[in-house]
Amino acid sequence: MFKFNCYSSNTPDTHQALNDIHAQSHPSLKPAFILVYFDVQLNAHTIWHWLTAHFAGVPFILSSSCQGSLCHNQYNDNAFATLTITTIEDDSGHYHICAGNAPDKPIYETAQNTARHLLNNTGSEPPELLWVTLTPGDEEAAINGVQNIIGTRVPIVGGSASDNDVTGQWQIFTHASSEPCQMAIASLMPSVPISFSFSSGYAPSGRTTEVTESSGRQVTSLDGIKAARQYNHLTNGAITEQLHGGNILGLTSFHPIGREVNKDEYLLSHPERVNDDGTMSLFSQLEQGDHLHIMQGSTSSLLQRAHKVIQSAQNGLAKPDLSGCLLIYCAGCMLSVKPQFEQVTDNIKKRFATTPVTGAYTFGEQGCFLDGQSRHGNLMISAVVFGV
């Protein structure tokens, strides 16, 4: 029997939050897999010790989420829970988690080793889906490292850990250690069918440009012009006040850069900072020669997007009935529409009243497009749905 449940608390007190979860969950609960998201104002080590005491031997991922997390179930809707715990009970499924932590090694190599250990634990049988939780920084290399071991046919979905103010307080843990790690990879082989979707709430503006010089996440020039100056021109002065240097995350949330990877499918990059020399830093990599679209979004489009992505994932199932959903929603998008964000949970409630939904607000999103290729992007939304 497959059961997907999520439980949440709003309190900033860690012990009280755990008591809230304990009061909501059934005493006979015997999960095969646990996923936990917490606001960094809570004490992660206290949560970790509680999980290992209450669910001994159960694999779990514990990750921070920007200013809370989303939890929808038939009893309540919580858009900014300080703590959300999701449990999957599945006697016939197989779930494994491996943590990677080697700060002195390239992240590509760490991801390779983590994936290799994970595959050994699964008996070398490729999982149906990988749920990944990464630290912000070089997610593309991490994904490449995982795929070098497991292959490119296994979908990768998940998000990068986050904090409340981009000050580097994000944390990731697994059941294996009370010390934080760089990444956690879960292999999911549930006994019910699954489907997934990866998308954004943005559309191309009609303005395009080309990367003429870049290195990783640093873009030197667009169309042969200093990157910041050309981006500012193409967005009608969106970052005029920061052309000589500064953080532009908030200014660019509605004007990201998009690469068309399939017809009407765009992978987004979020401009983060203008450097003193007029170059730009982004939260994902661009390469010389990349053809870019200046994308445009609105409060309405971002508020409408979450339930549509869930519906898109649902459409991939032979039967529409759902047991539950894991949702990744970009923290930058959430912060841009936070005063109206209750509309997101209202929309989910209207369309998926009896389906438990867990959502994290992340600093980078991983997902799989229709072409079957898993990618890392920004300002994206991904969903994994579980059938019955």
pLDDT per position as a tens digit, 349-376: 999 999 999 999 999 999 998 788 899 9
- Cα 329 from Cα 250, distance rounded (Å): 16
Regions of the chain where pLDDT drops below 50: none
- Cα 26 from Cα 268, distance rounded (Å): 41
Q: 252 near 240, Cβ under 8 Å? A: no
* Predicted TM-score of the model (pTM): 0.94
Predicted confidence at residue 306, as pLDDT, reads 94
- Residue count of the chain: 388
Element (H, E) at 250: helix 249-252
Predicted confidence at residue 29, as pLDDT, reads 81
Predicted confidence at residue 124, as pLDDT, reads 59
Residues 6+ apart with CB under 8 A from 119: 126, 149, 150
Beta bridge partners of 324: 386
Q: What is the pLDDT of residues 56-68, one digit of tens each?
A: 999 999 999 999 9
